[in-house]
Structure 1
């Protein structure tokens, strides 16, 4: 039975079509997925407990949470299917569930399905910060580049009487500790909800592979480009293109956690054992245009919803110039740290 008490959350899906679509601008995410491929393959080969699954069923259920519109989700799923087939060495049918918010363009996703797929397909709309599947119905869950999106921006950021009021900023970058703490606390709440929901849905001995943005400190890495975004908006406010009040009432629902934070939250939740947790990094020759186009594909929706579509071209053009002038491109740029995690659902008695 579905939980009808779960709050219906706002969602801002990836751009589905056009020059700034996620389909055409997700190669940086693809690089991270490729870097984590071997980790997932080894985990399935060495740690997937086949004897924990019902011998009466020959269907292996996989869910990709935060699938967007492709094409990366199909690469991930095929990697998992291939690894499971190699592990089990017997005929299996696979049922793959592609999940994202209800506003996601599932039509574009389904039109992009590769030919001759070896699995049955279902779309599952809804926030993964809540139940999505029947109890003990999934064998393997994958989620990449999604858990840095919070279920909501912390409420206290908009409270003028709160020490966490985030006036003049759109994120926790260069913000007081109270703002950073508010973001961290919201991430902790969301992560626990995510893990508790998946604990209901994943069979004992089943596995999850997570790929998260991570950082050595909450005030580094991804926060740098969010700070530049805020700077662009403030410049535009000075020109009368938008109001400072618009900026004060907007906070990105995004948080890049530290490895320690993530590890402690998983252990505190207690439903999964950590089989593997390792940071992975990739060094690329920076390109401001590519970086900002990827950011636009993933994040334009949340800006457009608040500030309107009219300023989007100028906003992202300004961001390109800011990135070019920043220290981000003065040397080879290490892409935001990623944390590859393999979890196993503990078997309960």
Structure 2
């Protein structure tokens, strides 16, 4: 298990089945870099985490940069330079992630990736990142009444991106010396998850963002922020409509090519196909 160092892995381990036939370990560190010795993993799985950036692009908080994102907390409805800075950082992170896993996997080892992607095509579509714009307006309102400083808002951005399928394919093509694409499939988000409504919808985003917000603003503002956010959601209920929300999940199955010699046995491909098709 790999996540932020501050996460409570003790609770996770206590809730694992006692009579299990596997060992579990927590490995601190960013998965954008190496975590394990070379050629030691037969199977890698990442679910929903690859949309998070390893860090924010420096230029989006630089007041002298054309990519400065003043008054916003995300690339949604921001200048093209801001979106480009996010995309560049994402490309670097994904490249580092794939390169690191290529070294850690045995030959013929498999990697199963699942992460959200955006498919916004029309002006009438609801951008899946629109919710961050709404949270951003709440922070701006709080700055106007003196709850937080304007400088704090200007220096805060959510390090999360919903890439296009085209962008992901281009990155994968850049690693074709290491991996072959065995399976790629678009899974409709609305068929996988029924988004909750009202306060539960707000709590869902609070669970995802609270740690990032507390680190930047402090814990005292969190309750007030999400109370404001709940009121904004009531004003714009379409943001919870999965029929209009242009968000899908991309599933990719990669096989490690035979670049390094190894005596480890490959993982049967048909097992993974069966697992994800049932």
Fold shared per TM-score above 0.5: yes
CA offset digits 1:134-190 (Å, max 9, x no partner): 000000000011111101010000111111000000110110000000000000000
Instruction: Give the corresponding residue for 1:340.
Output: 251
**2:71 corresponds to 1:168:** yes
Partners of 1:237 and 1:114 in 2: how far apart? Answer: 47
Partners of 1:286 and 1:332 within 8 A in 2: no
Secondary structure of 2:10's counterpart equals helix
**2:51 corresponds to 1:148:** yes
Secondary structure of 2:69's counterpart equals coil
1:247, distance to aligned residue in structure 2 (A): 0.7
Secondary structure of 1:166's counterpart equals coil
* Runs of at least 5 residues in structure 1 that lack an aligned partner in the other structure: 1-97
Instruction: Give the corresponding residue for 1:292.
Output: 202
Equivalent residue for 1:272, pick from 156, 166, 179? 179
Instruction: Give the corresponding residue for 2:136.
Output: 230
Please give the TM-score of this superposition, normalised by the length of structure 2.
0.86
Partners of 1:272 and 1:344 within 8 A in 2: yes
CA offset digits 1:268-316 (Å, max 9, x no partner): 1222111111111233364032222111112100001111111100111
**2:229 corresponds to 1:319:** yes
1:217, distance to aligned residue in structure 2 (A): 4.1
Partners of 1:138 and 1:201 within 8 A in 2: yes
- Cα distance change of structure 1 residues 285 and 171 upon mapping to structure 2, 3 Å threshold: closer
**2:162 corresponds to 1:252:** no
CA offset digits 1:203-237 (Å, max 9, x no partner): 11011111111001499633111111101101111
Please give the TM-score of this superposition, normalised by the length of structure 1.
0.69
Partners of 1:343 and 1:245 in 2: how far apart? Answer: 43
- Cα distance change of structure 1 residues 195 and 117 upon mapping to structure 2, 3 Å threshold: same
Partners of 1:336 and 1:323 in 2: how far apart? Answer: 18
Instruction: Give the corresponding residue for 2:109.
Output: 206
* Runs of at least 5 residues in structure 2 that lack an aligned partner in the other structure: 261-278
Equivalent residue for 2:61, pick from 155, 158, 173? 158
Instruction: Give the corresponding residue for 1:65.
Output: none
Higher relative contact order (CA 8 A, sep 6+): 2
CA offset digits 1:225-278 (Å, max 9, x no partner): 111110110111111111111111111111111111111101112221111111
Equivalent residue for 1:183, pick from 59, 62, 86? 86
